[in-house]
């Protein structure tokens, strides 16, 4: 497996031949992060880096708040990001057909919420609105903008996902709708395991893709990347990478 490992403080490489992709990412375990030595880790990082390496492209990863990641791909300051394609993002970036990972969205709430039983019985976004619930999310969450804000449901924004759980525990919102694997990592790290509960209510999953700015010719090679993603699904590479990270603590 050939993976380009970006080190903290490493000088950004020159890209004279279009074979280096600069990818902006928000630190988000276990998708993409850095270990104690500054090496890139995370299963999104490994999947995307391996896919790019199979088409002869190296990746260089730079960490920023999620809102800035999107702004820099939009402006062309960065080549790419890993996220869910939305109509707005596809105005300035190209992507590939098949997602490399599909993430389930589940409702969390405070353990002593007065409407706990009603929250557990939610079946639609309309139910959230009718219960007059407020959603807590993080800045730059496109799924929330498309599905929650657009539905007229009140939303409070934290700067980072890790801050969402403290807000929820402190009753600065009623529910959060997030991916359980990443959520519990932050909940436990914050010492809130007894204050937050995960319900059995889930919504439409989020499909993750590599998005590359239309300003760069390398975005025309996304069909090659897509073919490699399908190959990696068939040969078990993606399943093996994801399996290694499930239940792993952040290094």
Mean pLDDT, range 221-249, rounded to an integer = 92
In angstroms, the CA 51 to CA 203 distance is 29
In this structure, are residues 190 and 216 in contact, taking their beta carbons and an 8 Å threshold? no
Q: Which domains does the chain have, with CATH numbers?
A: 20-101+208-245 (3.40.190.10), 104-205 (3.40.190.10)
Q: Tell me if residue 11 falls in helix, strand or coil.
A: coil
Tokens at residue 4, please? 């380009």
In this structure, are residues 27 and 33 in contact, taking their beta carbons and an 8 Å threshold? yes
Q: Tell me if residue 117 falls in helix, strand or coil.
A: helix
Query: pLDDT tens digits for 32-71?
Result: 999 999 999 999 999 999 999 999 999 999 999 999 999 9
pLDDT at residue 129 greater than cutoff 80: yes
CA 35 to chain CA centroid, Å, is 18
Instruction: Give strand ranges (E) for 53-195.
Output: 58-63, 80-83, 93-94, 101-110, 135-138, 155-158, 175-178
Mean pLDDT is lowest, of 9-13, 145-149, 190-194, for 9-13
Mean pLDDT, range 210-234, rounded to an integer = 96
Task: Record the pTM.
Answer: 0.69
pLDDT at residue 11 greater than cutoff 70: no
pLDDT at residue 2 greater than cutoff 70: no
pLDDT at 3: 39
């Amino acid at each position: 497996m050939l993976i380009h490992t970006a080190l903290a403080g490493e000088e950004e490489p020159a890209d004279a031949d279009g074979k280096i992709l600069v990818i902006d990412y928000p630190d988000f375990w276990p998708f993409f992060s850095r270990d104690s030595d500054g090496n890139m880790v995370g299963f999104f990082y490994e999947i995307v880096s391996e896919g790019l390496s199979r088409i002869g492209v190296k990746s260089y990863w730079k960490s920023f708040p999620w809102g800035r990641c999107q702004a820099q791909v939009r402006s062309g300051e960065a080549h790419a990001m890993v996220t869910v394609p939305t109509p707005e993002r596809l105005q300035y970036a190209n992507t590939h057909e098949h997602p490399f990972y599909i993430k389930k969205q589940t409702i969390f709430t405070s353990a002593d919420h007065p409407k706990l039983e009603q929250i557990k019985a939610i079946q639609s976004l309309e139910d959230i609105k009718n219960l007059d619930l407020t959603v807590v999310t993080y800045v730059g969450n496109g799924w929330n903008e498309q599905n929650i804000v657009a539905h007229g449901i009140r939303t409070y924004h934290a700067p980072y996902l890790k801050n969402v759980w403290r807000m929820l525990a402190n009753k600065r919102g009623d529910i959060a709708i997030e991916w359980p694997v990443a959520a519990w990592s932050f909940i436990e790290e914050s010492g809130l395991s007894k204050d937050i509960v995960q319900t059995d209510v889930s919504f439409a999953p989020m499909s993750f893709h590599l998005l590359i700015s239309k300003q760069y010719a390398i975005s025309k090679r996304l069909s090659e990347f897509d073919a490699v993603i399908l190959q990696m699904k068939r040969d078990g590479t993606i399943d093996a990478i994801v399996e290694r990270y499930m239940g792993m603590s952040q290094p």
